[in-house]
Chain A
Amino acid sequence: EAGVTQFPSHSVIEKGQTVTLRCDPISGHDNLYWYRRVMGKEIKFLLHFVKESKQDESGMPNNRFLAERTGGTYSTLKVQPAELEDSGVYFCASSQAGRWISYEQYFGPGTRLTVT
């Protein structure tokens, strides 16, 4: 069974540009999470999808970040326009269905974003 995949693995963009990160969860996993690790800091929660709905987006830094999960399968995280402080590693994780219950999250390898 394929694990969580993320694309691209690395992205280097200039300040002000737009970048879209993609996450493909494990097939059948309704829960999809986005996390981010900024250099020198801990991994922080960004948001949680249940199927195509945003369950919790309390960790989204600001309105330059837009996450979507059309059809409840893969998800995209767009940063527009990118700022220097957006640099970091963005992780996606998925877990099986189970409303109000937490199951093991499987993490993707992450996308390393560098904004110059």
Chain B
Amino acid sequence: TQLLEQSPQFLSIQEGENLTVYCNSSSVFSSLQWYRQEPGEGPVLLVTVVTGGEVKKLKRLTFQFGDARKDSSLHITAAQPGDTGLYLCAGELNAGGTSYGKLTFGQGTILTVHP
């Protein structure tokens, strides 16, 4: 059973288009993170959202945490070929408990932006 459902798994778009990646769960997360992973490397943190309804922007990337802290989205405006890569969402349950830092990952979205 997948705790964090990430969709879509694959996304192929043209340069300049907008896109949204979703991460959904039936569980409440104390925080949710978005990572980007390049081939041969480990995931690199893009952003952490911790408050329900929180919106964070990172240049052309907009991250939103659902009001109930069960879902999140990543929106990219005017995608560029340099945005190509694997995007991962990961959440932390029970922050402050003994399992702090334990991340639950979604399956990832492979984004390809064509020039």
- Give the B-binding residues of A (Cβ under 8 A): 4, 31, 33, 35, 41-45, 48, 55-56, 58-59, 91, 93, 95, 99-110
Contacts and interface: CB of A to CB of B under 8 A. Distances in A.
A93 B42 contact: yes
A51 B88 CA distance: 27
A107 B43 contact: yes
A59 B103 CA distance: 11
Contact of A42 (B96, B102, B105): B105
Interface of B: 2, 4, 31, 40-45, 48, 88, 90, 92, 95-108
B102 A48 contact: yes
Given A41-B107, A43-B105, A48-B101, A102 B40 contact: no
A109 B108 contact: no
Interface centre among B40, B99, B106, B108 (most CB of A within 10 A): B99
B27 to A, nearest CB: 14
B100 to A, nearest CB: 5
Contact of B104 (A45, A93, A95, A106): A45
Given A107-B43, A109-B40, 18 more contacts: A41-B107, A42-B107, A42-B108, A43-B43, A43-B88, A43-B90, A43-B105, A55-B99, A56-B98, A99-B100, A100-B97, A102-B95, A103-B101, A104-B45, A105-B101, A107-B42, A109-B42, A110-B41
Contact of A33 (B2, B101, B107): B101
Contacts of B40: 109
Contacts of B2: 42
Given A102-B31, A104-B48, A110-B42, A45 B4 contact: no
Contacts of B88: 43
A19 B101 CA distance: 26
Interface centre among B31, B95, B101 (most CB of A within 10 A): B101
A86 B5 CA distance: 23
Given A42-B106, A43-B88, A43-B105, A48 B43 contact: no
